[in-house]
Chain A
Amino acid sequence: MYPVWEVPGLTAGLVLGLIAAFHMLPSHLSVGAMWLNVYLESRAERENRPELLDFVRKYSRLLLIFSYVFGSLSGVGIWFAATLAAPRAISGLIHNYVWGWATEWVFFIVEVVGIFVYVYSFDKVDRKTHIRIGWIFALGSWTTMVVIVGILTFMLTPGLWPQTGGFFDGFFNRTYWPQLFLRTGSMLVIAAAYATVIAARVYDAKVRSTVARAASVFGLGGLALGAACFFWYRASLPAHAVEIVEMLVKPGLRQGMIGSTVLLALYFGWLIVKPASARFWPALASILVLFAGIWSFERSRELIRKPWVIPNYMYSNQIIGADLPAKGVRSEIPAINERGILKTAPFVPKNLREVNDENRLQAGRMVALLECAACHSLQQGGVRSLARIAREKELDADMMEGLLYSLDQMPYMPPFAGTDPERRALAEFVAALSKGELR
């Protein structure tokens, strides 16, 4: 176990969630935008409508700046935030999927070189060559999605990996295909929404109409594909995940997904009928609606992984909870139960390694930092605050201790790992915290 970085109230996990949800916008824009661009650029060439290139040029610049300045850095941000939220989990993923990420990185090279050359060669190469550059970017960019979805879906449904430890056995798992096409639909929706923002800024009314209609057809098509694949994805979820959906995914998140889909469908539908009515502020609002939908989906996707961070291997508190014979790894739970978490984790202050009457609350806080802080705030309030949960359920130390004994009965909670004195110390710490006796 590594040292803990605590984000008071929020948890490091939520910081990761915020960065990851934001990253969806530039990353999916990157993957989707060029399909619309090559379509419009080809149409401009075919129909001899050079005025359409005004939009293509502006949209490409948005792609360059938003996706390859803010997007590439928010991508790096996800890595750093994931490290801080769960270093052992990201380590486990990297030690399995290093070649997957490295493969994605090769296509990232194609993307970055591609977008620079596409933007800066707009008036420097003949149109046919320029469209070819666009095609290379579009294909290379979608390929990054083909790769990363394998790793993302592995974190929920690891396929036969727990038995074989094989790269492809985890990569091509039962939710891979539905999520690949669900995200492909999302990329079209995101690209379309941003295109309407840029279209609204185009002065020529005819161009604005052409682009708004074309983008809306892309967007509506993406929504239809995404919605269909969502049900396919839902049907592919393991029974445990479905149970968690029912228990943990709150109505607000469901409404966020459904509401944003309906609103975007209405928006795109309206623009197909009345493309000349494309305006900046409604277009910008569509991005906010989109973000609400993405946030709802991504939060739900995170929740249904519980109690695991890597299914059937590592719990959300980063304790290895199952054997992985293919890699020679044993569950850490028996050893921690025998020795204690405070003696096992290297970065515990010496004075807290043994629980006694003098240090009980401090030791309890240390146990909470190690086993609970990844998901629960240790403040009075905040994300899944332990203090608030204890207050709401009116739990005293004895009842809390009982609850800790039965954690493994809750389908979304990892079991408590540690000795009896450590469990008692944690229970007393949470009880004291809930009564406001601790800061």
Chain B
Amino acid sequence: MTTHAMLQALADPMGVPFYPRVFQTLGVLTFSIHILCVNLAIGALVLSIYGRYWGDDFWKGLSGSLAKACTAAVSGAILFGVAPLLFMQVLYDPFWYASNMLSGAWVLGFVGVVTAAYGILYLRVSRDCGASGVVSAALFLVAGAIMHALNAQMLAPEKWTDWAVKDGAPSVSGLALHAFEPLRFAHFIVPAVAAAGVFLMLYAWYFSPREDFDKTVLARAARAGASLAFWATAVQALGGVLWLVTLPSEFRFHMNPAFVVAALLGFGLLGYFWRIRGKEDPAASAPGAAAALFIVTLAMAASRETLRGLYLGKWGYTLAAHQVHLDIGSTALFFATFVLGVSVAAWLLAVAFQAGRVPGRWTPGPRMQAWGKASIGILAAWLVVVVALGIFITFKNHGA
């Protein structure tokens, strides 16, 4: 059986309920947020550990805040990890499932490792980022390595049948990881420091109106953050070039428009961080730095998706090959829910943002209160509409 025939045999025969490009776009968008959260979690934890063990009073003081940022970032990483995982299974089902089945024990291990790391983080590290912080960080890196290996295995379908057999018998233990690319893995991990740097700048910017915060500490946090963001991005750029060299030459990826755009934006970000670093008050540029980091991450994620297409295209696997069975009802359900849900979540975030910026208790003004009431109304209305639809369909299909 050829690799192409094998992939055709494995692909889900039911097709997809909407145009594949839409799933792909959603996948890239949500992956970008996911990887930013992953980077922030690891970067904040590493800096927190540094502060706890080796830092001066400034870093020691920040250690707790960084550990708390890490816990929130891990939640974000899980939340925004679910969506790209879902969309990947819609578009790349044979690749993802085969890779998982070949390393089943590691797949389940991934869940255990992340649970242990996150549990330790909440129960121990948030109080004192000592040895438990080191254990937690190590476990998160192991989890990242497993996920990287699973993704790397996806890209080599020509080797799957060899990996699935050992000494002429089926290999069913799932105990082996078969592929790992250190440079590519590093390319995902190094930005952790840059993300933590931008977080420090945001921290200084966010608390700058608070009179009860030490201005010199905030200023130093902003300067340290800008510096970390610049140097980490510089290392990332160098690593990116090295990784580019390792890619199959027939891809000519260095000429690919998706890569060229991402690379130009990446170097633009490096220059931007350089400029911020030289400023008197880097904190003022924090929102711009965060937005720039997100845009570059998005471009990198799109470039990664393009590269995946090149790898899988070698075996004749294209998005266009998916059979589309349009399901307008469920598609409308998702997009309507998305718009409404984001507006509800935005109110919650707006409350948190404003409440944290003042000392003591904060009371929302009339507009915020109206938005809050509307958020409850939106959820109630959603339920009414879906329940009504459900009752109608139940009676139509199944009678009384």
Decide if B79 touches A168 in the complex (CB within 8 Å): no
**A280 on the interface (CB 8 Å rule)?**
no
Question: Which of B78, B123, B342 is the one whose CB lies under 8 Å from A76?
Answer: B78
Q: B80: nearest residue on chain A (CB-CB)?
A: A109
Known: A80-B100, A133-B348. A139 touches B376 (CB 8 A): yes
Decide if A5 touches B104 in the complex (CB within 8 Å): yes
Decide if A80 touches B111 in the complex (CB within 8 Å): yes
Q: Which A residues lie within 8 Å of B82 (CB)?
A: 76, 79, 105, 108
B193 → A minimal CB distance (Å)? 25
B151 → A minimal CB distance (Å)? 14
A372 to B326, CA, bound (A): 35
**A70 on the interface (CB 8 Å rule)?**
yes
Which chain B residues (369-394) contact chain A, with CB distance < 8 Å? 369, 372-373, 375-376, 379-380, 382-383, 386-387, 389-390, 393-394
Q: Which A residues lie within 8 Å of B211 (CB)?
A: none
Decide if A329 touches B13 in the complex (CB within 8 Å): yes
Encode contact with B along A86-124: 1 for CB under 8 Å, 0 otherwise.
011011101111111111011111101110110011011
Encode contact with B along A124-135: 1 for CB under 8 Å, 0 otherwise.
111001001101
Binds B, one of A172-180, A383-391, A414-422, A430-438: A172-180
Decide if A165 touches B325 in the complex (CB within 8 Å): yes
A371 → B minimal CB distance (Å)? 13
Decide if A132 touches B86 in the complex (CB within 8 Å): no
A2 to B89, CA, bound (A): 14
Q: Which A residues lie within 8 Å of B105 (CB)?
A: 5
B317 → A minimal CB distance (Å)? 15
Question: Which of B86, B356, B390 is the one whose CB lies under 8 Å from A98?
Answer: B86
Decide if A83 touches B100 in the complex (CB within 8 Å): yes
**B260 on the interface (CB 8 Å rule)?**
no
Known: A103-B337, A116-B72. A349 touches B168 (CB 8 A): yes
Q: Which B residues lie within 8 Å of A165 (CB)?
A: 325
Question: Which of A102, A168, A349 is the one whose CB lies under 8 Å from B393?
Answer: A168
Known: A79-B85, A169-B397. A109 touches B79 (CB 8 A): yes
- Secondary structure of the A contact surface, majority rule: helix
Q: Which B residues lie within 8 Å of A228 (CB)?
A: none
Which chain A residues (157-207) contact chain B, with CB distance < 8 Å? 159-160, 165-169, 171-174, 176-177
A346 to B361, CA, bound (A): 63
Q: A90: nearest residue on chain B (CB-CB)?
A: B89
Max chain A C-beta neighbours (<10 A), residue from B86, B118, B172, B331: B172
Known: A76-B82, A109-B345, A168-B330. A129 touches B101 (CB 8 A): no
Decide if B325 touches A136 in the complex (CB within 8 Å): no
Known: A168-B330, A172-B393. A126 touches B164 (CB 8 A): no
Q: A157: nearest residue on chain B (CB-CB)?
A: B398
Which chain B residues (291-339) contact chain A, with CB distance < 8 Å? 323, 325, 327, 329-331, 333-334, 337-338
Decide if B345 touches A110 in the complex (CB within 8 Å): yes
**A291 on the interface (CB 8 Å rule)?**
no
Encode contact with A along B73-100: 1 for CB under 8 Å, 0 otherwise.
0011011011101110110010011101
Question: Which of B101, B342, B376, B394 is the one whose CB lies under 8 Å from A136?
Answer: B376
Question: Which of A80, A95, A351 is the one whose CB lies under 8 Å from B90?
Answer: A95
**B31 on the interface (CB 8 Å rule)?**
no
Decide if B174 touches A139 in the complex (CB within 8 Å): no
Q: Which A residues lie within 8 Å of B334 (CB)?
A: 99, 102-103, 106
**A69 on the interface (CB 8 Å rule)?**
yes
Which chain B residues (36-89) contact chain A, with CB distance < 8 Å? 72, 75-76, 78-79, 81-83, 85-87, 89
Decide if B397 touches A87 in the complex (CB within 8 Å): no
B51 → A minimal CB distance (Å)? 21
A372 → B minimal CB distance (Å)? 13
**B170 on the interface (CB 8 Å rule)?**
yes
A84 to B362, CA, bound (A): 49
Known: A76-B78, A91-B12, A136-B379. A83 touches B107 (CB 8 A): yes
Decide if B390 touches A172 in the complex (CB within 8 Å): yes
Decide if A132 touches B372 in the complex (CB within 8 Å): yes
Decide if B397 touches A172 in the complex (CB within 8 Å): yes
Decide if A70 touches B119 in the complex (CB within 8 Å): yes
Q: Which A residues lie within 8 Å of B79 (CB)?
A: 72, 108-109, 112
A312 to B137, CA, bound (A): 47
A229 → B minimal CB distance (Å)? 15
**A302 on the interface (CB 8 Å rule)?**
no
Known: A98-B23, A116-B75, A136-B376. A159 touches B115 (CB 8 A): no
Q: Which B residues lie within 8 Å of A329 (CB)?
A: 13-14
A133 to B97, CA, bound (A): 39
**A13 on the interface (CB 8 Å rule)?**
no
Decide if A369 touches B345 in the complex (CB within 8 Å): no
**A337 on the interface (CB 8 Å rule)?**
no
Q: Which B residues lie within 8 Å of A3 (CB)?
A: 98, 101-102, 160, 164, 170-172
Decide if A2 touches B101 in the complex (CB within 8 Å): yes
**A68 on the interface (CB 8 Å rule)?**
yes
Decide if B14 touches A327 in the complex (CB within 8 Å): yes
Q: Which A residues lie within 8 Å of B104 (CB)?
A: 5, 12, 84
B203 → A minimal CB distance (Å)? 15
Decide if A106 touches B337 in the complex (CB within 8 Å): yes
**A289 on the interface (CB 8 Å rule)?**
no
A293 to B342, CA, bound (A): 37
B149 → A minimal CB distance (Å)? 14
**B255 on the interface (CB 8 Å rule)?**
no
A105 to B72, CA, bound (A): 18
**A397 on the interface (CB 8 Å rule)?**
no
Q: B111: nearest residue on chain A (CB-CB)?
A: A77
Encode contact with A along B24-35: 1 for CB under 8 Å, 0 otherwise.
001000000000
Decide if B330 touches A100 in the complex (CB within 8 Å): yes
Decide if B17 touches A349 in the complex (CB within 8 Å): no
Q: Which A residues lie within 8 Å of B83 (CB)?
A: 102, 105
B391 → A minimal CB distance (Å)? 8
Decide if A159 touches B397 in the complex (CB within 8 Å): yes
Decide if A84 touches B89 in the complex (CB within 8 Å): no
B384 → A minimal CB distance (Å)? 11
Decide if B101 touches A69 in the complex (CB within 8 Å): no
Q: Which B residues lie within 8 Å of A348 (CB)?
A: 170
Q: Which A residues lie within 8 Å of B394 (CB)?
A: 172, 174, 176-177
Q: Which A residues lie within 8 Å of B15 (CB)?
A: 95, 327-328
Decide if A327 touches B325 in the complex (CB within 8 Å): yes
Decide if B173 touches A6 in the complex (CB within 8 Å): yes
Question: Which of A4, A117, A328 is the one whose CB lies under 8 Å from B352?
Answer: A117
Q: B362: nearest residue on chain A (CB-CB)?
A: A125
Decide if A110 touches B344 in the complex (CB within 8 Å): yes
Encode contact with A along B344-376: 1 for CB under 8 Å, 0 otherwise.
110111011001100001111000010011011
**B10 on the interface (CB 8 Å rule)?**
yes
**B341 on the interface (CB 8 Å rule)?**
yes
9 other contacts beyond A91-B12, A174-B398, A327-B15, with CB at 8 A cut-off?
A2-B97, A2-B101, A70-B119, A83-B96, A98-B17, A105-B82, A112-B79, A160-B397, A176-B390
Per CB-CB distance, the 10 closest pairs between chain A and chain B, nearest first, are: A5-B104, A106-B341, A87-B97, A167-B330, A99-B330, A6-B172, A139-B379, A77-B111, A347-B164, A99-B334
Q: Chain A residues in contact with chain B, CB under 8 A?
A: 2-6, 12, 15, 65, 68-70, 72-74, 76-77, 79-81, 83-84, 87-88, 90-92, 94-103, 105-110, 112-114, 116-117, 120-121, 123-126, 129, 132-133, 135-136, 139-140, 143, 146, 159-160, 165-169, 171-174, 176-177, 320, 324, 326-329, 344, 346-349, 351-352, 362, 366, 369
